[in-house]
Structure 1
Amino acid sequence: MEVTAGNTTASNHVQPGLNRVLDSLNTEQRPYLVRGDCGFGNDAVIREMESRQQPYLFKLRQSPRVKRLLQRVFTRRDWVDAGQGWEGREDRIQLAGWQQSRRVVILRRLLKQNLIATQEQQGQLEFAFVDRRQTKVYEYAVLVTDLTESILGIAQMYRDRVDAENGFDELKNQWGWGGYTTRDLARCRLSARAVGLVYNWWSWYTRLAFPESRREAITSRPLLLSAIGRSTKHAGQTQLYLTLMHAAQKKVERGIENIRRGLRAVRQTAERLLGRQPWDLLVRYIVA
């Protein structure tokens, strides 16, 4: 991870780093998909992905041409189910500055909550309740992609982006990435990398304990840290005894047993290995 100035968060600042990551990976290591919101749905980013033959899925801004596309297709009857209350259909569009047309997936969803329409007349703000029997109000999104998957598949892949962003929410709000600031960029970068490193270690540790699901720090820390530990050494071996203090004792015991089993498997394989090899073996064991 890198720390940069707070005014360099737009996609044009992020793109060089993204390009370096993609260029450092061989074909087998490349991600299946690069996803991004409307900040990345521009021609410069898309052309970089296309030049690398990297599949992408981005959201488009509500530009005039995108709005004209929506006006043209909203009255059509060939909308298909896109999951979770959304309807979708595909089309092609060439925006200003684009060198070619690209596939887009248009998604819309009927708003269900109570709605109020407002307008200002003679300096007075007036409002009226929207009659749902006569008026349908939609929210919509337009996605640009080079994937060949179905509309339902494209819509679900974009919704899954939220799950990927949960890790950043956890880093900011549960690990402290959003809790400090300094004018010293080097110090800020060092602190942020330390947080990221510990976050990685703890994420692997909890996944080793509970392989069936990923657990956030807000629940896993009190679960796995509420024990008193005692270390003893005998005949060249170190034993760690834990006295559990958490109410969910049986669940914690199962997690600790999973951790013990994983470390034992790595130790049998990598007892004489040095450097990063035992760590790599442990990660491969957790992933498997």
Structure 2
Amino acid sequence: MTQLQSIDRLSLNQITTDKWSLKEAVDGCLRAEVPWIALWRHKIEEIGLKDSKRIIQDAGIKVSSICRGGMFPAATELERQKRIDDNRRAIDEAAELGTDVLVLVCGPAPDKDLVAARKMVADGIEQLVPYAKERGVKLGIEPLHPMYAAERSVIVSLAHANDIADQYAPDEVGVIVDVFHVWWDPDLFRQITRAKGRILGYHVSDWIVPTPDLLMGRGMMGDGVINLRPIRLAVEEAGYNGPIEVEIFNQQIWDTPGDEVLALMKERYIQHV
């Protein structure tokens, strides 16, 4: 199987070095010669959009995506509208910071009605598409592992994400393929093929065994059971040759000096991705 020979597509998803500020993460990428970064909105908020943009532009680093939009379901119409408004702000941030991808983590049900919650997700995306298109931003639906259905997203399969995305043009709505969330799916490779032309992002990490924690249990590539390379090749066969984000929630990695994390990330990227 084809091994990646360079890191020209490698992106640091900012959550992987969560203790770093935006500027520290950008500076770390420059030292490690990592050409891309994926930004989280709470890190942007810490210093403001203007300073975030200045740091990015001064560094000459490329932004692969902004995380996150979504979180559409809510108990009241007023709260649902507030979430739409916040998503519009996220779209503005993506456009201002030079990326055309806003990652959507779609949100859990406010009650036990999953059908209604999934309709809220579909309705929310429908409301956002014209606003995002005007600003040159694509909406990337990221299906999460089913274990996250109660707390983070009612969209729990690539098939369901494709069902929603298929209603729109590829330059409006697409999908994010995150190996941590989809590696287990017996329908994965068929759904990746189905998503041809509308894959907007590819995220890598690993699934540790035994799994230490539902949220904070991701591992560095090569430390778990995911067969990473066939998934990357399938995503490329489906037309995606953009940045590859390393996105890891893991306290041990967060507690490791960031420069060490980036050095290991680069090594494992070449070896395993």
Which category of TM-score, normalised to the shorter sequence, fits these structures? under 0.3
**Which has the greater radius of gyration?**
1
Structure number with greater CO (CA < 8 Å, separation at least 6) is: 2
TM-score by length of 2: 0.27
TM-score by length of 1: 0.26
